[in-house]
Chain A
Amino acid sequence: MPAAPASFLDPALLARISDLALLARTVVDGFMHGQHRSMRKGSSMDFAQHRSYQPGDDLRRIDWRVFGRTDRYYVKEYEADTNASVIFALDSSASMDFGSGALTKYDYGRFLIACLAWLSQHQGDRVGLATFVGDLVDVVPASTRHLQLLLHTLGRSRATGVGNLTTAIDKLTHLTARAGIAVLVTDCYESPEALGKAVASLRMRGHDVIVFHLIDSAERDFPFTAATTFEDSESGTRLPLRPDDLRVKYKALVEAHHAALTTKLIGAGADYIRVATDKPLDVALHAYLDRRLARSRVR
């Protein structure tokens, strides 16, 4: 799969776009450029209609029988990948409001959800949004017409407060009775075991769960050198530290946390995708589409 032009996906460039709809369209269009669009639509066997052949359509989808009768090219369209409910859950705790680069984790998460929602909308899915801290904050029910509302809600949301990921996931479980796809965007500051259990309960409801774990490079590498007092973004707790002495141990703890998350979430049947906020968005989009394609279901 050829990669999209990086200029459309670079976080530093995206940070300058304030309109989430424009951002999402730009990213998705750029991302989808040159890909076989027909591969993304009409993979079911339920016939929907004929339409005139357009350059770029797959030649295998031409209805040769109609051509025989009319000497014109028509392709058959099917009811494919439609009506899946995709609910995007964005962690809005204060810990998400951190970034050592051009974007904070929260901004990156909003861009990611906007792009995914845009993509999903054009796949024919119903898209919904839920932001949460300790509880659900903003909820946009899943619908094929709620894309703009979703983008608007994303635009005005702020990352603040003390998060509680497991409680929020439990609330998310009860948000909709219809099984669909739950896309969880969070920084995963939670016990892997508790998070695994929460995701497992979501899976038990029939949801496909994709967890995007956003991580900033400073969180990962702990590059601080000066003796500094560190303050917890959510609780406000302060801790005077000499980072040079603690870096190795810290990184070991973080890697162990990531390994545990991978084990627990995959064990719970979820897709776990760790995304660094200094990486282009196409990494996350590819991962999402691959999961989406692999798990697509036709109604």
Chain B
Amino acid sequence: MGLGLLVPAFLVGLSALLVPIVLHLRHRDKDRPQKFPSLMFLEQLPIRTAERRRITDWPLLLLRALALALLVLAFARPVFSRQAVAERANRVRAVVVMLDRSMSMGHKDVWQTAVDSARKVIMSLGPSDKVALVLFDDEADIVQPFTIEKSAALGALAKAKPSPRGTRYAAALRAARQLVLRAGNAKSEVVIVTDLQRSGVSGVAGLDLPEGLSVRTISVHSKSSANTAVASVDVRRLVEPTKTMLSVQARVLSRELPQSRIAHATLMINGRIAGVRDVTVPASGDVPVAFDPVLLPAGRVRGAVMIDNDALTADDTLHFAFTADDALRVLLVAPDDATADETLFFERALGVSRAPLMRIDRVRRGQLDTRILENASLVLLWDTPPPSGAAGNALTQFVQRGGGLVVAAGRRYPARVAASTLMPASVNGSTDRVTDRGGSLGDVRLDHPLYAAFRDAPAALSAARFLRYPRFEPAVGTEVIARFDDGLPATLERREGTGRIVLLGMPLDTRSGDFPLQSAYLPFLQKLVLYSSGRDVTTLWRATGQSWLLPGGLKDAAVSTPDGAIIRPAADTVGSTVALRESGVYSLYEGRVQGEPAGLLAVNAPTNESDLTPVDARELLLGVRQSAAAANASNDIPTPEEIEARQRMWRILLAAVAVLLLAETIFANRGWRGTASRLSIAPSERSPS
């Protein structure tokens, strides 16, 4: 039962139960004897003393004894255990209605069915039941906390609409968990109204839900999962002698169509139709759609590829945005005594790049200033330390605003290194590996973006030999990405502001090794430039649910969302971030929202959201654990309401005592002994005179 007593000493008072019994035996009816004309006959009847002494009014005696016992119990302050309170509170239900509002819910009439199902669940609750409404896609919004007002939940439900975002059941269940833990001891139930999209299941496994929480799913997915979507877009610049053309190729994906069909695809560039194609979409599979090249507009380009609307229209359009001029300008700072052939391999390796174009400008170390750095994406210091003075300050500001800095240490470096705040490591001489035919890269972090391209061919990296390299000692906050086979750091990275500083211990020329002669040299350098300059994260679009870290250096940044709203994000230590909630093109402005935007970012729903394949409800909750620890997570410190709920018993007992005493009064004076009273006639009232 889980019942305890706060003051058990009061139970001694139960001995007072003897009082009504003794009174009952000794003093019963003494107050109101029944008048009778004569006991002449009654006294002749044999009446045993024991019989006269026995308890005659059992109901009355029990009433009095029960009232006394309850009174004693009330003073003993009974208290329910947490479990008992929970069991008692189980009569009240706390239902969390979770409505999937992801993009896939817009398929056919799935959304209306889902809203109707959620409304039915809410309406079926009792008057004392609590309900909360959570709308979820890739994140969960508690639009209505627990309330007993069904109309409030229905009102919030009426305002809900599908979003262009993905599905993530784990986020929804976590939100439900938090709600349930705050629901007290009511019997909790989570009702998930969803299309059970398989792509949203990831992350559910291992989730810890409170023990006893009932999770129920209401599947509203359409019988047909047929869907066609624009899955991806690729743009290529076709450089011709006099102009640059833009070639756009899209990929249209179809799933579970009853049969192949012809889709009408349209390419929009800067709001105008730039191409049209009719493609035959297979029943299941994808088909490329290549549009005719069009003249590449200048500046920032926004585009979209659209196909005929089907049952799910939200994924029939894919937005993209890019900058027409994507040339990546690299400032090569070489020592004055460097020969032209020393950087030959390096310059040729970058020069062959077409996407993006990489343009190398050689500058002297002392020429670095704000003007030269303005249009640069990357500064590469060839076997020379960072400059000091004004050039050093300009370089520091360049990096902090997001520019890239690569320091390629060569044979001269140990002798010329100077103290600089930009250096991620100090140099302690150099290592000569001539005697053992050169060293190689030993420990390389292939999960790092810089080396990720070699994940499938790590031997290409280890093939390079390095005869002499500096001995770096990493500074605090510096990350070692790769090491030589003797354990010395080979590649180091440090973030400065929003920019990246990469320090290479590997010689990039042929004087101290054969790295330029290896197959890994060219992809490594191109990746090095892209990564260090930050260009590697530049994509044609991003998925909803992600965030946009605005480039530094903007004053009073303002972002125009696809639905026309203006966001002026506040900057923090990392920078200004905008959450991408809608599909379309976000425009970044500096100051006033007008004119040419400072940046464009296309946002689309996650491509896996177009896969409408449902998952079995049991499979959805297969990895979910339910533990008592989770149930008690928020109950370690009982709330005042819970304490009151546990000790509320004494009030009930006192009320019961009052009722019993009232019943005893009625029973004793009217209902029970009134039979005899009605037979008594007051003589004085009957007198004729």
Contacts and interface: CB of A to CB of B under 8 A. Distances in A.
B42 A228 contact: no
A230 B51 CA distance: 15
A250 B42 contact: yes
Of listed B37, B42, B683, B686, residue having the most chain A CB within 10 A: B37
B30 interface: yes
Interface stretch (A68-76, A92-100, A128-136): A92-100
Contacts of A107: 686-688
**Chain A interface category by residue count:** 35 or more
A238 B687 CA distance: 26
B594 interface: no
A239 B679 contact: no
Interface string A205-239: 00000000000101100011111111111110111
Contacts of B28: 227, 229, 240
Interface residues of B, number: 32
A236 to B, nearest CB: 9
A95 B29 contact: no
A268 to B, nearest CB: 21
A172 B482 CA distance: 144
Given A189-B38, A229-B34, A98 B688 contact: no
Contacts of B47: 239, 241, 246
A237 B37 CA distance: 11
B679 A240 contact: no
A220 to B, nearest CB: 11
Contact of B42 (A106, A223, A241): A241
Query: Looking at chain B's contact residues, is the secondary structure mostly helix, strand, loop, or mixed?
Result: loop
A250 B45 contact: yes
Contacts of A235: 39
A231 B683 CA distance: 15
A98 B681 contact: yes
Nearest to B678: A100
A15 B686 contact: yes
Nearest to B41: A253
A242 interface: yes
Interface in B8-49: 28-30, 33-45, 47
Contact of B683 (A20, A97, A218, A230): A97
Interface in B658-689: 672-673, 675-676, 679, 681, 683, 686-689
Contacts of B29: 227-229, 240
B51 to A, nearest CB: 7
B592 to A, nearest CB: 98
Contact of A99 (B45, B56, B686): B686
B52 interface: yes
A281 B672 CA distance: 34
20 contacts: A18-B688, A18-B689, A98-B35, A98-B681, A99-B681, A99-B686, A103-B686, A107-B686, A156-B689, A218-B679, A225-B675, A228-B29, A229-B28, A230-B33, A233-B35, A237-B43, A246-B45, A246-B47, A250-B42, A250-B45
Given A98-B37, A100-B681, 17 more contacts: A20-B688, A98-B681, A99-B681, A105-B37, A107-B686, A111-B688, A225-B675, A229-B28, A229-B30, A230-B39, A230-B42, A231-B34, A233-B37, A239-B39, A239-B43, A241-B47, A246-B47
